[in-house]
Amino acid sequence: MIVDDNQKCLQILHDFAKEWGLKTDLAVSVAEALSILERAHDNQEVIDLVLTDLELPDLSGRVLAHELKDADPKVILISRSPETHLNSSELQESGAAALLHKPLNRHKLYEVLCNLFQQESNPPRIQDLDTHQEPEEHALLSATTVLLAEDNNINQMYVTELMKQFGCLCHTAVNGLEAIEAVKQHNYDLVLMDCQMPELDGLEATRQIRELEQTGELEGHLHIVALTANAIKGDRERCLEAGMDDYISKPVQKAQLRKLLDQYHARKASHQHTISAKTETIVSSDREIDSDRAIDTAALMELCCGNLELIESLLDELESSGEMRVAHIREHADQGNARGVAEAAHSLKGATSILCAASLQQLSQEIEQTGTEDHLENIDALIDELSTEMQRCLQELPQVREDLQGMSTEGE
């Protein structure tokens, strides 16, 4: 059941559920939700899950969660404010199983649902989202559990989708601190660790994980692969010195991840416990790009292996966050915060590389470099140029979507 007084959000969640093969009831208030639950009980119908907004017109979603604490349905709270945080004890007290924030990321929601029901003997049927998936890939890699430590939403969505295509269960963390806590709680086969993240970067997180292994708090040797937007030797050496086992440059491509997973399973099958040779994989950038278009649709189609559902999700994310990303960069610049400028520009650079938006990526890289070198004297002009290019990109999205649909039809 979905409970939300915002019709647009209600429709979005209903569409997600429909795609996954889940039957849903819709409610716009706590009173209506309780009425539906009472009717389902009288009819001996089972409701496995309740997705409810925290801010409802009659009562809080936390009240609904508490009402259902001793009942069968699991409850996921949805907050409109990113500042809303509930620790594990507060979640347990409310009766909720998880807290998510708007705008909802469909891949994150899918991950949470899988985690909630994977231990159930008769979980609700959640259909596979990927129609391009090869069955033999599932058979080979379905037992692989991966942690993706990445703070960029678009990169998260892209890599999570690729991992799902291989049948892997992929958890996510948005910084090094979350990654360390995650590896303490779960036995991961593989960690994909972004090097530049807030609060604690991937290099330091890896060092701390290796220390936990040395002290015996973590067993064995966890295979950690660096994800970095920079494909230069100095960064590669820093990754390996921090204790990482492999190195992949962004944007990550499907063939790279498949090779990485195949190598992992080959080592596991042959019972080899030594660290494999470190090799650097650099994504080729000699693809010809149409400079008249903000997004290279052919390159995007190729990078996403023709998966229109993934591409649409990535474009939706850019559409909802693009202007805000530029505003964050400008805000840091106005405050004279060079490090903040560099970090925000780095995040945008990673997102636009996935989207094959060459001009946005180049401008983001220039701004990142300016922030890294702490030379903000002429940054306003660069940010103005970035803002103009972002507007051009957003205005072209309808045409990009039309082109992609045409390319998909031609390939059938």
CATH number, residue 387:
1.20.120
Residues 48, 11 share a domain: yes
Structure tokens that stand for 20 in this block = 């996954």
CATH number at residue 111: 3.40.50.2300
Model pLDDT, residue 328: 92
Structure tokens that stand for 233 in this block = 């030797």
Locate the DSSP E strands across 175-330: 190-194, 223-228, 246-249, 280-281
By C-alpha distance, which of 5, 116, 109 is closest to 52? 5
CA distance 153 to 108: 10
Residues 387, 336 share a domain: yes
The domain boundary, picked from 220, 246, 281, lies at 281
Q: Place 410 in a pLDDT band, splitting at 50, 70 and 90.
A: low
Residues 407, 317 share a domain: yes
Residue 323: inside a domain, yes or no? yes
Residues 248, 154 share a domain: yes
Residue 160: inside a domain, yes or no? yes
Residues 242, 164 share a domain: yes
The domain boundary, picked from 83, 117, 151, lies at 117
On average, the pLDDT of the chain sits at 78
pTM for this model (two decimals): 0.53
Residue 286: inside a domain, yes or no? no
Residues 145, 277 share a domain: yes
H or E element that contains 269:
helix 254-269
Residue 134 has pLDDT above 60, yes or no: no
By C-alpha distance, which of 299, 279, 280, 278 is closest to 289? 299
Of 290-294, 322-326, 336-340, minimum mean pLDDT range: 290-294
Residue 325: inside a domain, yes or no? yes
Residues 258, 166 share a domain: yes
Residue 263: inside a domain, yes or no? yes
Model pLDDT, residue 88: 67
Residue 205 has pLDDT above 90, yes or no: yes
Q: What is the mean pLDDT of residues 11-38?
A: 83
Residue 128: inside a domain, yes or no? no
H or E element that contains 398:
helix 379-411
What range does the domain containing 351 cover?
297-411
Model pLDDT, residue 137: 42
Residue 332 has pLDDT above 90, yes or no: yes
Residues 302, 206 share a domain: no
Residues 304, 237 share a domain: no
Residue 287: inside a domain, yes or no? no
Residue 138 has pLDDT above 60, yes or no: no
Residue 83: inside a domain, yes or no? yes
Number of domains in the chain: 3
Q: Place 384 in a pLDDT band, splitting at 50, 70 and 90.
A: very high
Cα 187 to chain centroid distance, Å, stands at: 20
Residues 254, 230 share a domain: yes
CA distances from 384 to 345, 361, 395 (A): 13, 15, 17
Residues 314, 246 share a domain: no
Residues 222, 113 share a domain: no
The domain boundary, picked from 117, 143, 177, lies at 117
